[in-house]
């Protein structure tokens, strides 16, 4: 909690605070209603880890996953810091086996040289639109398999740093139930960033463990392998706390195994709104 208080004290921009205020107000307005639905069991989220779940949203249900995070990297007296005030992902079950996805981040990026700030840019990320579908149910040693893809539309980014082209990614998501308390999930895919014609091949592996029906933990390794650049490998670990079947809190800490990230700190929540 102390770390989060320090982060929020540093956030002096009014607009992102309004975004968070609206989000928490939305949670307060829907939380009581969301508690009433228990037929589906506990919600399955795509946060806080980088590994996407293989399960699509049930038809007619909306799930909102959001949070904040801080990451930094320093090399040759140049330090870059990203304060992401809002990581919003909205997932809606359009059909029995098809979910639509809409997402964006709102980030303040700072660059410092010898401790002095030389650049600060605040902007929305490219707007994410996409889908997820389940290909195969889990049976024996065969995992549950899902497929998801996204477009990253550049119009939501500030003009000064706006990419010229649309980005795209896709991945296959796999899930194994190892026991009543543990599971293994992994993703394989590829991404083309907005202004980069070269593919980066994506991977992630996440092991999850449930201490009880409320508290869970995970550890994860993930990264990408660009075609014409060095590979990036990272790790993170975190906790989840299930307040109800439709409302979950999470916290994460991580870093990189290769150069690129000194520390990652994240916290957030997810909630599912039942259909009326």
Tell me the per-residue pLDDT of 212-239, one tens digit each, with 9 for 90 and over: 999 999 999 999 999 988 999 999 999 9
Q: How far apart are CA 144 and CA 141, in angstroms?
A: 10
How do 62-75 and 263-273 pair as beta strands?
antiparallel
Helix (H, G, I), strand (E, B) or coil at 122: strand
Contact 272, 62 (CB under 8 A): yes
Integer CA distances (angstroms), 123 to 80, 85, 127, 154, in order:
15, 11, 11, 11
CB atoms within 10 A of CB 75: 10
Task: Please name which of 18, 105, 116 lies closest in space to residue 70, comparing C-alpha atoms.
Answer: 105
When divided into structural domains, the chain yields a total of: 1
H or E element that contains 226: strand 215-226
Through-space distance between the first and last CA atoms of the chain, rounded to whole angstroms: 36
Render pLDDT for 103-145 as a digit per residue (tens, 0 to 9): 999 999 999 999 889 999 999 999 999 999 999 999 999 999 9
Average pLDDT, the chain: 88
Torsion of CA 242, 243, 247, 251, to 10 degrees: -50
Identify the bridge partners of residue 20 per DSSP, sorted by sequence position.
none
* Distance, CA of 119 to CA of 161 (rounded, Å): 13
The per-residue pLDDT for range 146-195, each reduced to its tens digit, is 999 999 999 999 988 899 999 999 999 999 999 999 999 999 999 999 88
Q: Give the range of the structural domain holding residue 94, as residue numbers without chain letter.
A: 2-273
67 neighbors 48 (Cβ within 8 angstroms): yes
What is the percent of the chain where pLDDT is above 70?
86
Write out the two tokens for 149.
């893809």
Cβ neighbourhood burial of 25 (10 Å; 0-12, 13-18, 19+)? exposed
pLDDT band at 38 (very low <50, low <70, confident <90, very high): low
Which position has the token pair 């929305």? 124
* pLDDT tens, residue by residue, 194-214: 888 899 999 999 999 999 999
User: What is the CATH number for 129?
Assistant: 2.40.160.40
């Amino acid at each position: 909690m102390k770390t989060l208080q320090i982060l929020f004290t540093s956030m002096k921009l009014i607009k992102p605070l309004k975004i968070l205020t609206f989000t928490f107000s939305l949670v307060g307005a829907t939380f009581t209603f969301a508690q009433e639905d228990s037929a589906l069991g506990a919600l399955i989220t795509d946060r806080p880890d980088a590994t996407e779940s293989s399960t699509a949203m049930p038809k007619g249900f909306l799930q909102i996953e959001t949070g904040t995070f801080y990451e930094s990297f320093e090399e040759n007296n140049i330090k870059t810091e990203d304060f992401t005030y809002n990581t919003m992902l909205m997932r809606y079950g359009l059909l029995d086996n098809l979910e639509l996805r809409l997402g964006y981040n709102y980030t303040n990026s700072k660059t410092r040289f010898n401790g002095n700030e030389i650049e600060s840019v605040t902007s929305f990320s490219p707007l994410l639109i996409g889908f997820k579908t389940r290909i195969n149910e889990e049976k024996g040693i065969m995992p549950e398999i899902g497929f998801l893809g996204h477009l990253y539309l550049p119009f939501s980014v500030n003009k000064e740093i706006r990419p010229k082209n649309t980005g795209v990614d896709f991945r296959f998501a796999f899930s194994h139930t190892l026991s009543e308390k543990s599971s293994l999930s992994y993703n394989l895919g590829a991404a083309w960033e907005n202004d980069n014609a070269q593919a980066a091949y994506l991977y992630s592996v996440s092991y999850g463990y449930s201490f009880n029906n409320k508290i869970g933990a995970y550890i994860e390794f993930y990264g990408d392998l660009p075609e014409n650049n060095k590979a990036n490998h990272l790790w993170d670990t975190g906790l989840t706390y299930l307040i109800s079947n439709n409302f979950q809190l999470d916290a994460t800490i991580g870093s990189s195994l290769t150069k690129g990230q000194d520390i990652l700190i994240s916290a957030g929540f997810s909630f599912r709104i039942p259909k009326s």
